[in-house]
Amino acid sequence: MRKRVKQVIAGAVAALMAASMIGCGGESDSSKKSPDDQITLKFSFDQGVGEATQKIVDQYNASQDKIKVETVLLPQDANQVHDDFVNKLASGDTSVDIMGLDVVYIAEFASAGWLMDLSDELDASITDTMLEGTVEGATYEGKLVAAPWFTNSSVLFYRQDVLDQLGAEVPTTYEGWMELADQAVGINGVEYGADFQAAQSEALVCNWVEYVWNNGGDVLDEDGTVVINSANNLEATNIMKKLVDQYAPEGVTTYTETESEQVFKEGKCLFIRDWSGFWSSGQDEGSKVTGVIGATTLPVGPSGEESHSCLGGLDLVVNNAISDGQKEAAVEFIKYMVSADTQKEMTLISAQPPVVKEVYTDSEILEEIPFYEDFYGVILGGKSRPKSPQYAKVSDAIQRNIHQALTGEVEVQAALDTLQEEVEELSK
């Protein structure tokens, strides 16, 4: 009898443990419908724009009953956000419906088949209101696979007070800035002429391509041929290296946006190249340079004529694996987010540049953010980084080789030659 009881208990426990494993799996489907047929959408993006977006989302949820949007925040690191999305989308996960994706990853995600084709839903009536560069960046193989949400480009911020004291004009060339930097050291706490981001990261790619473009060169020419080790680019990279060696803080090759902004806010730098959002964050509490920041376009090199800045920003993408009902709701939400009114609201509370053109010339906006008047010109001159499904590898090649050139580990010419070879390999 005891033996029998023991066997039964053993069998029951085994069965229970086996049954509990079923609880480990199970899909997390977000298409929950509450009794009154409300659809829930999960919207995931990085927390750099967290607060502002949350306000907009709350407004949307309050304004109608059909769709409820829930936000899922991620850390403010493009790589981490990318990896998180890859994890989900590669396994066909449907727990996230809409994502805020960095513009450089659009081609990669689209070629893997993870993004819903929005060409039919978002027709010309919507895309014509947007900046051309952003719509182009959201297109892959002729299909619109993303909805531009907000854009960004870099700006040269400088110490207006130092320039006033020296009675100097705002320089437009790198040489001009270097000359000014020699005079400016010691004035009002300035120790370094230049400040920017040269850590081995995506930020370095953005910085470097700007030197390249502003010196009349490029990474790929119109036919897509790799033109990295041209004479123009060699000159441009040498200028960047000179700034790193002589004018920037010693640790600039370990700086991403955070560290570089910190040094400028301490009042130690003459200028900083940073994203446009620094206009407001650079003057917040604790900053020693509030009220003395000026903004201008990036300087050009000796062989360059036009100033370009690197385009960034986030696009809204829809997970291709979710159900049709979810997709419809997602498109509804996207249309709301890209409408002129919402874009204006978003810009007012977040200082993130909108993609809808008319917002830039809106009087309320110009009152709040007067620097958008000049900035509109800057953003029209914005260029996208090379678009390719292999962008991750191209970016990685640029990051490694240029970083080695800037730290002096490899000669600049040798680094550009190696980079030329590596990118050519990838383009095959």
Partner 1 sequence: MIGKKKRYGSLEKTEGRDAWIMMAPAIIVLLVVAVYPVLRTFWLSLHEMVLTDPGSGYPFIGLKNYLEIFNDKRALTSIVFTLKFTIATVSLELLIGFTAALIMNKAFKGKGLVRAAILIPWAIPTSVSALMWKFIYNDQYGLFNDILCKLGVIDGYKAWLSTADGSFMALVITDVWKTAPYMALLILAGLQMVSEDLYEAAKIDGANVFQRFFYVTLPCVKSTVLVALLFRTLDAFRVFDLISVMTGGANGTESVSIYAYSNLMKFLDFGYGSAIAVLIFAVVFIISLLYMRVLGDQITDM
Give the residue, chosen from 40, 139, 238, 254, that forms a contact with partner 1 under the rule CB under 8 A. 254
Q: Residue 3 or 428: which CB sits closer to partner 1?
A: 3
Give the residue, chosen from 13, 166, 231, 380, that forms a contact with partner 1 under the rule CB under 8 A. 13
- Our finding on whether 10 is near partner 1 (CB under 8 A) is yes
Q: Residue 201 or 307: which CB sits closer to partner 1?
A: 201
Rounded to the nearest 10 degrees, how much is the dihedral formed by the CA atoms of 377, 126, 86, 403? -10
Give the HSE-up count for residue 214: Cα atoms under 13 Å, Cβ half-sphere: 27
Spatial distance between the Cα atoms of 405 and 420, rounded to a whole number of angstroms: 14
Give the residue, chosen from 3, 28, 222, 224, that forms a contact with partner 1 under the rule CB under 8 A. 3
Judged by CB under 8 A, the chain residues 29 through 88 that form the site for partner 1 are 79, 82-83, 86-87
Contacts of 395 (CB under 8 A, 6+ apart): 104, 202, 205, 385
Give the residue, chosen from 51, 58, 92, 112, that forms a contact with partner 1 under the rule CB under 8 A. 112
Q: Residue 113 or 186: which CB sits closer to partner 1?
A: 113
Q: Looking at 2-10, 121-129, 270-278, 283-291, which segment touches partner 1 (CB under 8 A)? A: 2-10
Handedness of CA 109, 114, 116, 117 (dihedral sign): positive
The CB-of-390 to partner 1 minimum distance in angstroms stands at 7
Give the residue, chosen from 127, 253, 276, 342, that forms a contact with partner 1 under the rule CB under 8 A. 253
Q: Residue 117 or 341: which CB sits closer to partner 1?
A: 117
Closest CA to 379 of 141, 131, 149, 185: 131
User: What 3 state SS string does 159-211 have?
Assistant: EHHHHHHHCCCCCCEHHHHHHHHHHHCCHHHCCECCCCCCCCCHHHHHHHHHH
Judged by CB under 8 A, the chain residues 197 through 236 that form the site for partner 1 are 199-201
Spatial distance between the Cα atoms of 25 and 16, rounded to a whole number of angstroms: 16
Residue 192 bridge partners (DSSP): 269
Give the residue, chosen from 14, 185, 380, 414, that forms a contact with partner 1 under the rule CB under 8 A. 14
The CB-of-113 to partner 1 minimum distance in angstroms stands at 5
Radius of gyration in angstroms for the set of CA atoms belonging to the chain, rounded to a whole number: 25
Phi, psi of 79 (to 5 degrees): -65, -45
Give the residue, chosen from 162, 163, 194, 263, that forms a contact with partner 1 under the rule CB under 8 A. 263
Spatial distance between the Cα atoms of 341 and 105, rounded to a whole number of angstroms: 27
Judged by CB under 8 A, the chain residues 363 through 402 that form the site for partner 1 are 389-390, 392-393, 396, 400
Measured in whole angstroms, how far is the alpha carbon of residue 311 from the centre of its chain? Answer: 8
The CB-of-403 to partner 1 minimum distance in angstroms stands at 6
- Contact yes or no for 365/359 (Cβ under 8 A): yes
Binding site for partner 1 (CB under 8 A): 1, 3-4, 6-7, 10-11, 13-14, 17-18, 21, 79, 82-83, 86-87, 90, 108, 111-113, 199-201, 249-251, 253-254, 259, 262-263, 266, 389-390, 392-393, 396, 400, 403, 407, 409
